Amino acid sequence: MLRAAVLAIAISALAGITFTGASAQNLEAIKARKALLKEMADATKKPGAMMKQEAPFDPAPVKAALAKIQANAPKIAALFPDDSKTGGETEALPSIWEKKADFTERFEKLAAAAKAAETSITDEFSFQEEWPKVVGNCGGCHKQYRKDK
């Protein structure tokens, strides 16, 4: 009888460890992608204010934002494994996994647009023309693949 109880406790503990391990992996992917997306959002705040004429044009924050987008965008698409569909207060919609190729291509397109804008933006006028081409990629992805806030 004691042996059966010890065995049941051991099996329960092992199952709990396995479940916890799977949850941690899920939450780690969500946490990592949220951090990278937040970095990009933070980097685009100053250029966004410039775009709205709320701040004077300054090329330094624009270049920093474009560099951050180029660095983070390729990493983000890989942070949506099948075991990260739920949990961690994710705002990811199921359509990400239903249209995975399109979703991944959008991050490639975002990085490419940031790279192109890096050389195209030389002054305030070119910034006003090129910046929407970059951040338009963000909005298009959010509409299809992120829950409304």
Residue 25: per-residue pLDDT: 54
Q: What confidence category does residue 143 fall into, taking pLDDT thresholds of 50, 70 and 90?
A: very high
Q: Which domains does the chain have, with CATH numbers?
A: 2-145 (1.20.120.10)
What six digits make up the tokens of 49? 């204010």
Structure confidence by residue, pLDDT tens digits, 8-59: 443 344 444 334 444 445 899 999 999 999 999 999 999 999 999 999 999 9
Range with lowest mean pLDDT among 12-26, 93-107, 131-145? 12-26
Look-up: residue for tokens 């494994």?
81
| Half-sphere exposure of residue 106: CA atoms within 13 angstroms, side-chain side | 19
Question: Is 78 a residue whose pLDDT tops 80?
Answer: yes
pTM of the model: 0.81
What six digits make up the tokens of 25? 């992996």
Q: What confidence category does residue 101 fall into, taking pLDDT thresholds of 50, 70 and 90?
A: very high
Question: Is 2 a residue whose pLDDT tops 90?
Answer: no
Q: Let me know: does 108 contact 75? Beta carbons within 8 Å.
A: no
Residue 46: per-residue pLDDT: 98
Q: Let me know: does 46 contact 59? Beta carbons within 8 Å.
A: no
